[in-house]
Structure 1
Amino acid sequence: MVVFRVVLALLAVLTCVTSAPRSAAPPQDISVLTPLGTAQGTLDADGANRFAVRYAGATRWQSSAVVTEWTLPNGASDPAALPLQCPQTSVDASTFAEDCLSMILYVPVDIAPGSNASTLVWIHGGSFDSGSATFPGLDGSNLAIATESIVAVIQYRLGALGLLPPDGSTNLAVQDAINALIFLGQVVPSFGGDSSKITLAGQSAGAGMIRSLLAAPSASSLFQSAILQSDPMDFGFTSLTTQALLQSTFNDLISCSPSDTACQMSLTLDDILSAQATLEDEALGLDPSVAIGEPLHPVLDHTLITTPLDSTAPFPKVSKPLLLTNVRNESAPTIYGVEFPGPGPFPAEDFELSSDALLGTARTEILMASPFYPVDPNGDSRVPLQVLGTDYIWRCPTWTFARNWVANGGTAHVGMFTVGATYPLNDGIDDCVAPGAVCHQDDIFIVFGTTPNPTPAQSALTTEMQARYKAFLASADPNEPGLDGWVPATTTDVHAKEFGVLTTVDGEVPVLACDPSFWGQAVQYDYQFFDL
């Protein structure tokens, strides 16, 4: 069985999640005067003022433009109404709309104009083809109150609508995110925010979007720092060659030429999403460099995104402070939930067969000869496969990125969650609900403070991480009195801190295969292997 070939569950299964229901808002409405008009909001059930707003508009497959007046999303008249999702597969069509460039602002009630508060902008994950500002756990009230900041949760165009315009232009979704930041820069002072104190944060593909913004010079002045959680950095950016192939195939599927705007506008959303689903199913067969589980993602177009921000080209000079985190069992949902479901154990030979199918013979031979992924002949091959997947897609490329970032002028703090809160899609995966497991997405509830019925360990970690984020938003340093020291990364030691249950004496994650002489050198990442 080929590991990761169907889909990275921890990335792509987000297409199966529906928007999270919210508690009914109290009847109390709030109004704030902004340069774009009067913002209408309501008191969120968790205690912050909540404002949903349409930040930009766009004609299908054209660049978006920032709005010039404050309007509620989707023509709503009720300030408590939440925005519809962007179009995506595997959800009810009644939950999405093409006019979806909206965000939700959460503002603590004690932040007033002149407060000069920080703003945290959350960018949701979902493999760039799913997700929304209303997905489970993303109510920003608790996070806003704990960090004494404005929290903005944004949406951006997904899948083919955001990344495959038939005329061959690129990165519309990234431009959407840039316009969200431009909009925020205009309005946050009205809510008590300081437009020069905007920090980006996101998980999975959301972190990948932030990496795209870090690689886009035109976005640099719009935010001061960033928090990247569980970014699948092994994927790199899509190359122009691969993008052209995907684009051509998609155009054939919709039967519209690049210049036939009338044909493109006549397509129904079902037509577009159906063609997108077919392309995503076939993408890896078209080009082996396509990111497994994330076939559509931002493109290194050398216009908007001008650098790969990886080890395939000279790293640019940088200055922004970053927080970079992973969870302990990033790949467990794929290994135990998709590729090898069931009670197991699975035979030892599955490790080499799966690795060979994923990485090729040459890279697999190096892995098999190394001490990092020992296979117990009488054990379960899923155990080393989960470690391999976590190292290969997430942990080790993140550590390589941290070293490069620090070497070129920036600062980075690296960490790993060893306590989490099971995200809904992981509920049915035995290994993800086992004691001590922290699977992909299990950091979301912790950071937002939205864990249902939290344990003392979960509550303690939420308190710690929100305190660290508060300090980072204010001073670019996640350390403050009363917290254990979080040592910044250097070019030789990333000092990856454990967050939760400590498994080592010094509270730092062992380097193991993330030694720079192994992953990234002896064994190439995909972005190196395919020269993306």
Structure 2
Amino acid sequence: MAPMAASASLFAFALLASSALASPIVSDLGNTNFLARRQSSTSVSTPLGTAKGFADGAGVRFAVSYGSAARWAESIVATSWQLPNNATDPSKMPLLCPQSSVDASEYAEDCLSAVLYVPSSVTSDSNAPTLLWIHGGSFNSGGLTNPGLDGMQLAQTTQSIVVVIQYRLSALGFMAPNGAMNLAVKDVVTSMKFLQIVLPSFGGGASKITLAGQSSGGNMIRALLAAPSASSLFQSAVIHSDPMDYGFLTGSVQSLLQNNFNSLLNCSSIDTACLNSMSLSDILNASDQQFGNAFTIDASATQSEPMRPVNDGTFITTTLNDQSDFPRVAKPILLSTVKNEAAATTYVAEPSFLSTSGYQQFVDWFYPQPKAQDLLASSFYSVPLLADGTAQDARVPLEQMGTDGIWRCAIWTFARSWAANGGKAFVGEYVLGSHYPFNDGVAFCQENSSVCHQDDIYIVFGTAPSPTSSQRALIAEVQARYKAFLHTGNPNPTSGGYATWDAATSTDIPALLLGGSGLVSAGACAIDFWGRKIPYDYQLWHD
């Protein structure tokens, strides 16, 4: 596949922009004041040894190393229960996986850690479901201490065990010099194998794991849905804001990118001693160069997720889109987006009013032809006139274009395919959220009517700071639907008076408004527009 000129989309760096705006990763789990609560030690006997936890009135939190891995080797399941990073204090949260966005004191290469939130409502004989949360961050940043990821309230409300994990990031997870692929994805497999061993000791069902994740965490889940060897390890999935427009990397593109990364190292790709002696600082520097330049080697790398899951044909065996035969599927899935997914990118790239002519230049520059021309000609993304005859700020249709193309419509197309091949897919859109710290630098995202990328996280976990009555109502609804889904595979609670959430069909997406009433208007996500008249990036980039 030949590289395309420039970036195929203004929004190819959408998630990168969001990450770049981020405040430093915090270790206090957002605004929940988790560590300040009254706590006492609690121990649980597991097949791997005694688990020492830290308790409060709502339950007990257990930090653990779920696996280990030599540098650029596949991870293996832990054979004993160990606190992360050689800690002796069970209240201590794990260090992050190596990433250049934080100080070196905050990360460790030995980082395959998890935190289990076990509520008081789950007892030893509960056989409770488990929600396994996979954090986002463009596969380049973040961890289980991202703001708001205190899982105790969510666990208590859903009567489940909530587990938040972290996995190897950037080059350490996706750019093994020897060509090994998908190491980070296999880290998640390792975590699930570990959980199957220990969950019954905490009152969890070993076979009742539901994967959930946001942004690149959602992409990770999609990769696991495409990996037959992982299928038996989880029962269902919840995917938030996955940029499905990008698709997986192909093997040929990964090879190009791997060759480039290897050229940035002062070691031969087969000199294990040299590679193992490299400092994390040098590896992160090379990784950052790769992250910033990969899209110039091949546009399908994107500026947002240049190191991501690869359709390698052995572990990941399908594209899960129309670039290969879509497999028969059975797992129920929840798929959601937020109203303004592309806002951070749009309003940072163009911080002031955008004229109609400027809008046309943006689209012409960042999309290939004839895609750009067809988008500009569409009524979906025209620049309307205001009452006084002047043109509206063109950032409004530009943001909608990015939201539709990268996230919303690509996810709707995926849902139709999932339904057509035997699975149930429930689709929703958050039109109410809670402003997430990583969007603090974007004025648009602070407006009450905006729901930007990541603004659904506080809602799901019930950790919104000073929630309004509307936010509290949405938290209650979302967690009631999560509870129903975790226990039954259907997000419709038997009580609460919530609207019926119908599954998608091969032709119809009854997408539920989350934080509103009724269904989402299809608009540009109609079956005959995105993916047919307007190609997704993966349709342009496939081998």
| Aligned counterparts of 2:330 and 2:164: Cα–Cα separation in 1 | 25
The answer to whether the Cα contact below 8 Å between 1:238 and 1:297 also exists between their aligned partners in 2 is yes
The answer to whether the Cα contact below 8 Å between 1:15 and 1:90 also exists between their aligned partners in 2 is no
> Is structure 2 residue 4 aligned with structure 1 residue 4?
no
Within the candidate set 191, 201, 204, 1:193 is matched to 204
Identity over aligned residues, as a percent? Answer: 52
**Superposition TM-score, scaled by structure 1 size:** 0.96
| CA deviations over 1:218-265 (Å, ceiling 9, x no partner) | 100000000000010001001111111111111111122221111111
| Aligned counterparts of 1:65 and 1:466: Cα–Cα separation in 2 | 33
The answer to whether the Cα contact below 8 Å between 2:21 and 2:439 also exists between their aligned partners in 1 is no
Matching residue of 2:350? 340
| Aligned counterparts of 2:354 and 2:131: Cα–Cα separation in 1 | 44
Structure 2 gaps of 5+ residues are 1-6, 29-33, 385-389
The answer to whether the Cα contact below 8 Å between 2:23 and 2:437 also exists between their aligned partners in 1 is no
> Is structure 2 residue 235 aligned with structure 1 residue 224?
yes
Within the candidate set 112, 116, 134, 1:101 is matched to 112
| CA deviations over 1:60-100 (Å, ceiling 9, x no partner) | 00111001000000000001111000001111111100000
The answer to whether the Cα contact below 8 Å between 2:14 and 2:344 also exists between their aligned partners in 1 is no
Matching residue of 1:399? 412
The answer to which of 422-431 and 100-109 deviates more is 422-431
| CA deviations over 1:379-428 (Å, ceiling 9, x no partner) | 21211110000001000000000000000000010000010000002123
Matching residue of 1:379? 392
> Is structure 2 residue 498 aligned with structure 1 residue 483?
yes
Matching residue of 2:26? 19
| CA deviations over 1:337-382 (Å, ceiling 9, x no partner) | x2112xx212212222222232212101111111110124622121
| Aligned counterparts of 2:174 and 2:303: Cα–Cα separation in 1 | 16
| Aligned counterparts of 1:68 and 1:93: Cα–Cα separation in 2 | 28
The answer to which of 368-377 and 420-429 deviates more is 368-377
The answer to whether the Cα contact below 8 Å between 1:332 and 1:439 also exists between their aligned partners in 2 is yes
**Superposition TM-score, scaled by structure 2 size:** 0.94
Note the 1:322-333 alignment, pairs <5 A. Answer: 322-333=333-344
Q: Per-residue deviation at 1:484?
A: 1.1
| Aligned counterparts of 2:538 and 2:13: Cα–Cα separation in 1 | 20
Matching residue of 1:77? 88
Give the root-mean-square deviation of aligned CA atoms: 1.5
| Aligned counterparts of 1:173 and 1:194: Cα–Cα separation in 2 | 25
Runs of 4+ in 1 over 4 A off after TM superposition: none
> Is structure 2 residue 383 aligned with structure 1 residue 370?
no
The answer to whether the Cα contact below 8 Å between 1:16 and 1:90 also exists between their aligned partners in 2 is no
> Is structure 2 residue 214 aligned with structure 1 residue 203?
yes
| CA deviations over 1:431-482 (Å, ceiling 9, x no partner) | 1111211000000000000001000011000000000000000100000232
Within the candidate set 349, 368, 378, 1:360 is matched to 368
Matching residue of 1:418? 431
Matching residue of 2:387? none
| Aligned counterparts of 1:332 and 1:110: Cα–Cα separation in 2 | 39
The answer to whether the Cα contact below 8 Å between 1:52 and 1:82 also exists between their aligned partners in 2 is yes
The answer to which of 485-494 and 30-39 deviates more is 485-494
| Aligned counterparts of 1:6 and 1:194: Cα–Cα separation in 2 | 39
Q: Secondary structure at the match of 1:219?
A: helix
Within the candidate set 260, 264, 272, 2:283 is matched to 272
Matching residue of 1:448? 461
The answer to whether the Cα contact below 8 Å between 1:497 and 1:509 also exists between their aligned partners in 2 is yes
Q: Per-residue deviation at 1:17?
A: 3.2
User: Size of the alignment, in residue pairs?
Assistant: 524
The answer to whether the Cα contact below 8 Å between 1:256 and 1:263 also exists between their aligned partners in 2 is yes
| Aligned counterparts of 1:10 and 1:468: Cα–Cα separation in 2 | 31
Matching residue of 2:186? 175
> Is structure 2 residue 130 aligned with structure 1 residue 116?
no
Matching residue of 1:31? 43
| Aligned counterparts of 1:438 and 1:268: Cα–Cα separation in 2 | 40
